[in-house]
């Protein structure tokens, strides 16, 4: 790949934009295709449509210099590009089913034209095991599709530092069955990245397993600490000591080891599902994935059960959920356990008021069409119970005295250990 390559990034989400902004910062000219007109307009003004501080800064610069331009998808754009980086949601965020239609069109467009040099498609989107094989078949159905090189190049970005993780990744995985394609993409990354970044070269299917496997491990780790915390909670044990002592084994570690409402987000639960998807036709069951999802569900069911014991019927009861994002200090509610809990409680008749400090402008959360309280006080007023939904730092500053004056019951459910129990108990609050 050379600087003459025409680079197309498909999808203007975390992954697509972080990649595009990085390449543009490195001096390449990048086109981003995005089908949402609102997002296209916003990006053209250099404005990012989600919370990602470093990326927002970089984006503004590269849009300003013209190195990064944003367009609506078209056959023409695909056929001009020689490097196509696919970073769209390839599974539906609600049903977690494969979204094949977008790939069918993409394959027809990319493979529909004869090129001097073969186009290379870098699949960053995560999907079922064997998805690259399916996409290869789609490409091969197009007139010149067999000339297109397909590389599975999974992303491992953490939300909140998507740009930083693109510049300094823990590893880059280049999965291609065609050795020429593999080498081409390895050269591309070697030019862009520090020599200390490990590049793993492998085949397509192994690269797919690496991506889903890594997310399965992380889910598995979070499920583990939630299971331990749940037992500790039920038996009134010292969860802080338990968590700390277990994590002091360096083979275990203490990072990414916080209990709460379970694990959420747009990746981990989805990937636990995808790895066992019947669509993949491998017939193999990853027991660890089933278990992680099962534990995640139990966390919420246990809370519902213990609230029911305390509140009696849910009908007519007000539940204040503080925090709806799946991750602290973000506004991202995709796959949020707090949202799932709110919906579970609402289905049982409770009146649920959700307050999300990073979403004060919005009226509701798209998932489940859940209305948002317009402020903290609105959520707390007349609450029969307060549930911490996200471990946002600012929620630590809640004053029990102020809260006590608003609520109906001094009852709190805080599985994160965010609030200082001693202080809150002094003000008459009880923890459930």
> Which residues form the interface with a second copy (CB under 8 A)?
156, 170-171, 173, 198, 200-203, 205-206, 209-210, 213-214, 216-218, 220-221, 223-224, 227-228, 230-232, 234-235, 237-238, 241-242, 244-246, 248-253, 255-256, 282, 284, 286-288, 290-291, 294-295, 298
CB atoms under 10 Å from CB of 209, counted, come to 19
Q: Which residue has the tokens 């069109």?
A: 105
- Bridge partners of 7, per DSSP, are 30, 83
| Identity of the residue, 234 or 366, whose beta carbon is nearer to a second copy in the bound complex | 234
Contacts of 149 (CB under 8 A, 6+ apart): 118, 119, 120, 121, 176, 178, 180, 181, 184
Q: Which residue has the tokens 């539940």?
A: 319
Report the chain's terminal Cα–Cα distance, integer Å: 59
| Identity of the residue, 290 or 329, whose beta carbon is nearer to a second copy in the bound complex | 290
| Identity of the residue, 31 or 291, whose beta carbon is nearer to a second copy in the bound complex | 291
Q: Phi and psi of 284, rounded to 5°? A: -100, 140
Where helices occur in 26-127 by DSSP H, the ranges are: 37-44, 53-65, 75-80, 100-111
| Identity of the residue, 102 or 218, whose beta carbon is nearer to a second copy in the bound complex | 218
Q: Least separation, in Å, of the C-beta of 78 and a second copy?
A: 29
- Quote the CA–CA distance of 214 and 171 in Å, as a whole number: 12
**Do the beta carbons of residue 155 and residue 167 sit within 8 Å?**
no
Burial category of 96 from C-beta neighbours within 10 Å (exposed 0-12, middle 13-18, buried 19 and up):
middle
Contacts of 293 (CB under 8 A, 6+ apart): 269, 272, 273
| Identity of the residue, 182 or 384, whose beta carbon is nearer to a second copy in the bound complex | 182
- Bridge partners of 412, per DSSP, are 386, 431
**Do the beta carbons of residue 154 and residue 85 sit within 8 Å?**
no
| Identity of the residue, 145 or 264, whose beta carbon is nearer to a second copy in the bound complex | 264
| Identity of the residue, 70 or 261, whose beta carbon is nearer to a second copy in the bound complex | 261
Q: Least separation, in Å, of the C-beta of 252 and a second copy?
A: 5
| Identity of the residue, 68 or 292, whose beta carbon is nearer to a second copy in the bound complex | 292
- Bridge partners of 352, per DSSP, are 319
Q: Least separation, in Å, of the C-beta of 195 and a second copy?
A: 15
Q: Which of 416, 412, 373, 420 is nearest to 391 (CA)?
A: 416
């Amino acid at each position: 790949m050379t600087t003459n390559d025409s680079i197309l990034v498909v999808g203007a989400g975390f992954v697509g934009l972080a990649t595009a902004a990085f390449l543009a910062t490195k001096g390449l000219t990048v086109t981003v295709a995005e089908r949402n007109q609102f997002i296209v307009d916003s990006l053209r003004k250099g404005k990012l449509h989600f919370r990602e501080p470093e990326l927002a800064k970089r984006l503004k610069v590269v849009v300003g210099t013209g190195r990064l331009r944003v367009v609506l998808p078209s056959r023409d754009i695909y056929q001009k590009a020689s490097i196509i980086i696919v970073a769209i949601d390839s599974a539906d965020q609600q049903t977690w089913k494969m979204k094949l239609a977008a790939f069918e069109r993409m394959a027809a467009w990319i493979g529909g034209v004869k090129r001097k040099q073969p186009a290379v498609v870098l699949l960053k989107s995560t999907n079922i095991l064997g998805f690259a094989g399916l996409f290869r078949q789609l490409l091969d159905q197009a007139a010149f599709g067999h000339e297109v090189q397909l590389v599975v190049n999974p992303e491992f970005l953490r939300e909140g530092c998507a740009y930083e993780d693109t510049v300094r990744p823990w590893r880059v995985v280049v999965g291609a069955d065609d050795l020429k394609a593999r080498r081409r993409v390895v050269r591309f990354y070697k030019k862009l990245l520090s020599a200390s970044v490990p590049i793993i070269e492998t085949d397509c299917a192994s690269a797919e397993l690496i991506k889903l496997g890594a997310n399965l491990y992380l889910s598995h780790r979070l499920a583990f600490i939630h299971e331990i915390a749940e037992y500790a909670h039920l038996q009134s044990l010292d969860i802080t000591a338990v968590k700390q002592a277990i994590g002091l084994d360096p083979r275990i570690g203490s990072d990414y080891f916080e209990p709460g409402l379970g694990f959420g987000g747009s990746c981990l639960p989805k990937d636990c599902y995808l790895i066992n998807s019947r669509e993949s036709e491998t017939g193999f069951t990853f027991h660890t994935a089933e278990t992680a999802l099962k534990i995640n569900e139990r966390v919420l069911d246990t809370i519902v059960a213990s609230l029911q014991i305390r509140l009696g019927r849910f009908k007519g009861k007000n539940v204040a959920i503080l925090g709806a994002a799946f991750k602290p200090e973000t506004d991202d509610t995709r796959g949020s356990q707090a949202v799932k809990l709110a919906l579970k409680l609402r289905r049982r008749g409770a009146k649920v008021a959700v307050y999300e400090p990073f979403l004060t402008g919005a009226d509701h959360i798209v998932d489940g069409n859940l209305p948002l309280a317009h402020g903290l006080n609105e959520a707390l007023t007349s609450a029969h119970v307060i549930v911490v939904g996200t471990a946002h730092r600012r929620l630590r500053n809640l004053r029990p005295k102020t809260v006590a004056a608003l609520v109906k019951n001094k009852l709190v459910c805080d599985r994160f250990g965010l609030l200082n129990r001693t202080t809150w108990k002094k003000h008459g609050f009880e923890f459930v």
